[in-house]
Chain A
C-alpha cells in the first residue's frame, strides 16, 4: 500500500516537516526533526530507486487526477538517481549542521534556518520528481526562495549582498524558465512533460518552440551556473553558512543540470535539442572556457570557500562537456559526474566547515601548519582534494575516465586536452592548500584541536564514500549508464 504512495511521500515528508519546524522553534528539536525528515526522504528515495530498478518507470497521478490534466509525478532511473543524491547529501550534511549552524547562526534564527532547509529540500526533490512543467517551476521557486534565506543567514554582512544578488539572478533565471514553459504551453496546450514531448514533435520547427528553447536554456544555464552566467555563485557559496555551502554545492546545481537534461532529452528530444539547435556547440565552448578559466581563477583565491566555488563552476564545465558530446557515453559521464561531484564537493565543503568552526576563518593564510593541529579534518580535505583532481582509486578518477573515453569515442581530442589541463590546474589549487597546511610553519597564535565528532564523522563518511565509489562503481556508473541509455531511448 505505502509502496504505491512513495512518489508523493518523497515530497510531502519534508514539506510537512517544514511548518512543524517553525512551530517547534527550539534549535535542537528543529534539528532533530530536520534530520528525521531528511533520513525518511532518503529511505523513500532508496525504495523508489529499488522500485524503478525492479519494475521500470513509475507514474503517479496526484489526487487521482489522471495525466495530462492532473499533476503527474514520473520517476525513472535518471530522477530516482538524482533524488538519491539529494536526499543522501541532505541527511549527511544535516548531521554535520547541528554544531556548525550553532556556531554560525544566532540561536533565535536556527528554527527558521531548519525550516528554510526543509523547504529547500522539498523544492529540490519536487523539481526532480515532477512530470509537470509548471509544477517544476513552482518547486524551483520554493527551493530558490528558501536558499536565498539560507545564504542570507551567513555570519558576514556580505552574505546579505550575496543573497540579494543571487535573488535577482535566480529570479531572472526562474522567469526565463517560466517564459519558456509558457511558450511551450501556448504551442502544445499541455503542461505534462510527456504529453508535451509527443505534441512537440509536429510543431518543433516553429519560432515559438525555438524561442521557448532559448529562454529555457538560458534560464537553466543561469541556475546551473554555466560560464558566464556563474557570477552569482562564488559569493553565494563563499558567504553562506558552511553547512549551506556544502548542501547547495552538492545538490542545487545538480538538480538544475538534471532539469536541463530532462528538457533536452525528454521534452525536446535529443535530435532537436542537440541536432537541429546548436546547443551542443554552445555547451562545448562554454564548458571548455568554464573548465579552464574558473580553475585558473580558483588558483588565485585566498578564501577557500570561494576557491571551491570557482572549482564548482569548472566542474559544471565538465558536466556541460559531457552533454555536448551528444552520445550515450557522454551523457553517462555527465550523470556519473553529478554523483561523484556531489560527493567530492560535499567532502571538501564539510572539511572547510570543520576548519571554519575551529578557526572562524577559511582564509588560506590562517591554515599554516593546520595539518598537524587538525589532522583528521585536513585528512578529509586531502582525500576530497585528491578526488577532485581525479587521482585513481577516487571517485573523481572514475568521472574523468568516463568523460575521456566518451570524448575519445567521438574523436574530440581538444576536449581530452581540456580535461587534462583542468586536472593539472586542480592539482595546483589543491596543492596550495596542502602545502600551507602541512609544509609551512605553524601559526602559534591560532587555536588548536579538532572539530567535534558530530562534524568529523559525516565529513569522513563522505571522504570514505569518495574512495568507495572510486573502487566500486556498480551503483554510480551502473545506474548512470542505464539512465543515460533510457534518456536516449535505447531499450536495454
Chain B
C-alpha cells in the first residue's frame, strides 16, 4: 500500500458517488471513512512526501502528531456525518460532503502554504453546496455571502503566502508569527475561517441555513481546520488570548436572545472555538493540548447537538424555540442523546467537554491571566445556560407545543448514538485522547478542585435559571410562554438595543442612504461606460478607430522625442 494522502480516498469516492445509484453509494460512503481511518493509522509517523512544482517544494502529505490527531478527528466526524445523512436522496449533497471532508483532510495534512491554499478554497467551494441544497431564497443568498467571505479568506492566504515566499524562499507551513505583512495577512485569513469577532458573521449567517444534515458537516470541518492552522502557524501569539476571550463571551448575549435553535448552536460554536483560541494563544504544552483536545471534543458534542436539532427539524419542520416544546413525549431517545450532548458542552464532569476545557482554564491561571480566566468562567456559565439548558429545554420540554411526531430514522439515531458514546467514553476515560495529543500530558482531570469548581459553577447557573423561572421573569403560565418568549427574543431585546443605539442608527441611516445614492450613481456610470451599449463596449465607427491610432502615434512620437 503506497502512502496516499488521506484526501485522495475521499475525492475518488466523491467521483464514484457522482455516478453510483443510491444503495451502492450508501455502502461506499460508509466504507470511505473506515478504510480511510485504517489507512491513516498505517501511515508511518513523521512521514513527509515532497514533490517539486515550478521550482517550489510542495508537501502534499506531512504526517506528524498534530496532523494525525486532526486526521483521526475528521475521519470520525465524517463517519458520523455520513451515517446521519445516509437517508438523504440527493446525490449532490453526498458528493459535496465527501469533497468537503476530503478537503479538510487535505488541509490538515498540507505541509506547505500553497497546498493549504488549494484545500482552503476547496473547503469553501464544496461546502457551499450543502447550504445551497436547502433550496430556499434565504439559503441561496446566505450561501453566496458565505462563499464570498471564504474566497476572500483564501485570497488573503495566497497573498500572505506569496510574500512569505519572497522573504524566506520557502513555502513551508510551520510557525509563522505576526512579523511582517505576510504573517498578518495569513493571520487575518485564518481569523476569518476561525470566526474571530467581527469576522464571524458568515458562520451564524450561513450554518443555520444549510440542510439539517449539511450543518452537521459544516460544524465539523471549516472552523476546526482554521483552529488547526492557527495551532500550526500562530501558537503562542499573545493577541490570540484576548481575541479568544472575546470570542467566548460576546456570542453568549446573542445566543440568549436568538430563537432559531441552530443559530444558537452556531453562536455557541464561536464560544467554544474561543476556548481553543485562548489555548493556542498561550502556547504552553498544557494549553495547546487543552485547545486541541477541546477541538476534538467539540466536533463530537457540537455535532451531537447539531444532529439532535437536525433531527427535530427533519421530523417537525420547525427549529424556532418558540414553536417547539414538549417533544420529549414523542422523541424520548433523541431527548436523551441531546441531553448528553448538552452535558458535554457544558463540561459536566464525566462528560467530554470537562476533560479538555479544564485544561485550558488551568493553563490560563498558570500563565497569569486572571481577567481572562474570569471571562472564561463567565463564558462557561453562559454556555451552560444557552447550550446546556436552553437547547434541550425549549426543544423537548417547556410548554407542550402540541407537536406529535416519532423518533427520527434509524441512521440518524445511530449517528447520534455513536457521538453520545464517544462523549461519555472520552469523558470517563480521557487517557486515550490524551495519548494522541501533540505534547506529553501531565494532567489529572478528575482532581478534586477541578470537579468542585465546575460543579459549583454548574449548580449556581442552574439555580439562576431556576430562580428566573420561579420568580416570574420567565412567565409561569405555559400557555403564554410562547408569545412571551417570542416577544422577549425577537422584540424586547432588539427594541432595547435599537433604542439604546438610536443615535448610532440615525447616523447609520444617513450613511446607508448616502452610500445607496453613491452606489446607484456609480452603477449608472459603470453601465454608461461598460454596459452592453456603453462607451467602451459598443462597436465603433472605423473613423474613430483610426483617430485613436493617430492619437496614439502622435503621443508616442512626442514621448519618444522628449
State the A residues within 8 Å of B (CB): 164-165, 168-169, 172-173, 176, 207, 210-211, 213-215, 217-218, 221-222, 228-229, 231-232, 234-235, 277-278, 282, 293-294, 296-297, 299-302, 310, 391-393, 398, 401, 404-405, 408-409, 420, 471, 473, 477
Q: Are A392 and B557 in contact (CB under 8 A)?
A: no
With the chains together, A263 CA to B537 CA distance in Å? 31
Question: Does chain A have a CB within 8 A of B436?
Answer: no
Name the distance in Å between B527's Cβ and chain A's nearest Cβ: 7
**A217 near B556 (CB under 8 angstroms)?**
yes
Q: Does B507 contact A (CB under 8 A)?
A: no
Residues of B within 8 A of A392 (CB): 114, 117-118, 121
Report A8 CB to chain B, min CB distance, Å: 35
CA distance A212 to B383 in the complex (A): 77
Q: Is the CB of B545 within 8 A of A165?
A: yes
**Interface assignment of B530: CB less than 8 Å from any CB of chain A:** yes
**CB nearest to B115 among chain A residues:** A392
Do B166 and A408 touch (CB < 8 A)? Answer: yes
B553 touches A215 (CB 8 A): yes
Interface string of B516-539 (1 = CB under 8 A from A): 000000000011011110101101
- Determine the chain B residues whose CB is within 8 A of the CB of A228 once the complex forms: 548, 552
Select A172's contact among B527, B530, B549, beta carbons within 8 Å: B549
Taking CB atoms, residues of chain A closer than 8 Å to B534 are 297, 300
Answer yes or no: B540 CB below 8 A from chain A CBs: yes
Q: How far is the CA of A473 from the CA of B402 in the complex (A)?
A: 65
B542 interface residue, CB < 8 Å from A? yes
Q: Is the CB of A282 within 8 A of B117?
A: no
Interface of B is mostly: helix
Which A residues are CB-close (under 8 A) to B548? 228-229, 231
B559 part of interface (Cβ distance < 8 Å): yes
CA distance A471 to B162 in the complex (A): 18
Chain A contact residues: over half helix, strand or loop, or mixed?
helix
In chain B, what residue has the closest Cβ to A161? B539
Is there an interface contact between B546 and A207, defined as CB atoms closer than 8 Å?
Answer: no
Closest Cβ of chain A to B97, distance in Å, is 19
Q: Are A214 and B549 in contact (CB under 8 A)?
A: no
A136 to B53 Cα, complex, angstroms: 38
When A and B form their complex, what is the total count of cross-chain residue pairs whose Cβ atoms lie within 8 Å? 99
Besides the contacts A231-B545, A297-B537, what 17 more A-B pairs have beta carbons closer than 8 Å? A169-B545, A172-B549, A211-B557, A211-B560, A214-B553, A214-B556, A214-B557, A221-B552, A228-B552, A231-B548, A294-B536, A297-B534, A300-B530, A391-B121, A405-B166, A473-B53, A477-B54
Q: Are A302 and B532 in contact (CB under 8 A)?
A: yes
Please give, as numbers and ranges, the residues of chain B lying within 8 Å of A294 by CB-CB distance. 536
Least CB separation from A472: chain B residue: B53
Query: How many whole Å from B415's CB to the nearest CB in chain A?
Result: 30
Whether B53 contacts A300 by the Cβ 8 Å rule is: no
Distance in Å from the Cβ of A431 to the closest Cβ of chain B?
A: 10
Residue of A nearest to B553 (CB): A218
B496 interface residue (CB < 8 Å to A): no
Residue on B with the closest CB to A471? B53
Nearest CB of chain A from residue B483's CB, rounded to whole Å: 40
With known contacts A300-B534, A477-B54, A218–B545 Cβ distance under 8 A: no
Q: Which residue of A lies closest to B556 (CB)?
A: A214
Tell me, rounded to whole Å, the shortest Cβ–Cβ distance linking A428 to chain B. Answer: 11
Interface centre among B548, B556, B557 (most CB of A within 10 A): B556
Residues of B within 8 A of A169 (CB): 542, 545-546, 549
Taken together as a complex, chains A and B put the C-alpha atoms of A217 and B557 apart, in Å, by: 10
Residue of B with least CB distance to A477: B54
CB distance from A438 to the nearest CB of B (A): 11
Q: Indicate if the CB atoms of A282 and B559 lie closer than 8 Å.
A: yes
**Which A-B residue pairs are the 3 nearest by beta carbons?**
A296-B530, A210-B560, A214-B556
Residues from chain B with Cβ under 8 Å of A210 in the complex: 557, 560-561
Report yes or no: B118 in contact with A393, Cβ–Cβ below 8 A. Answer: yes
Between B118, B162, B539, B546, the greatest number of chain A beta carbons within 10 A of the residue's beta carbon is seen for: B539
Q: For residue B108, give the distance in angstroms from its CB to the closest CB of chain A.
A: 18
User: Counting chain B CB atoms within 10 Å of each CB, which of A211, A214, A228 scores highest?
Assistant: A214
Q: List 24 A-B contacts (CB under 8 A).
A: A168-B545, A168-B546, A172-B549, A211-B557, A217-B556, A221-B552, A231-B540, A232-B545, A235-B539, A277-B560, A278-B562, A293-B529, A294-B536, A296-B526, A296-B536, A297-B536, A300-B527, A392-B114, A404-B162, A405-B165, A405-B166, A408-B166, A409-B166, A473-B54
Chain A residues with CB below 8 A from B526, complex form = 296
Give chain A residues whose Cβ lies under 8 Å from the Cβ of B155.
420
* Alpha-carbon distance between A429 and B545 when the two chains are bound, in angstroms: 26
Q: How far is the CA of A244 from the CA of B178 in the complex (A)?
A: 53
The reply to whether B166 and A222 form a contact with Cβ atoms under 8 Å apart is no
Tell me which residues across on chain B come within 8 A of A168, comparing CB atoms: 542, 545-546
Contact between A297 and B546, CB atoms less than 8 A apart? no
Contact B549 A218, beta carbon cutoff 8 Å: yes
- Asked if A207 and B553 sit within 8 Å, CB to CB, the answer is no
Q: By the criterion CB–CB under 8 Å, are B537 and A300 in contact?
A: yes
* Binary flags per residue of B109-153, CB closer than 8 Å to A gives 1, else 0: 000001001100100000000000000000000000000000000
Report the Cα distance A385→B189, complex, angstroms.
25
Which B residues are CB-close (under 8 A) to A393?
Answer: 118
Of all chain A residues, the one with the shortest Cβ separation from B140 is A439
Contacts of A405 in B (CB 8 A): 162, 165-166
Chain B residues with Cβ under 8 A from A310's Cβ? 537
- The residue in B165, B526, B537 that gathers the most chain A C-beta atoms within 10 A of its C-beta is B537
Chain A residues in 8 Å Cβ range of B545: 165, 168-169, 229, 231-232
Which residues of chain B come closer than 8 Å to A473, judged between CB atoms?
53-54
Complex Cα distance, B155 from A234, in Å, reads 31
* B560-A297 in contact (CB<8A): no
Q: How far is A168 from B166 in the complex, measured between Cα atoms in Å?
A: 47
Contact code string B271-299 (vs A, CB < 8 Å = 1, else 0): 00000000000000000000000000000
In the bound complex, residues from chain A placing their C-beta under 8 Å from that of B117 are: 392
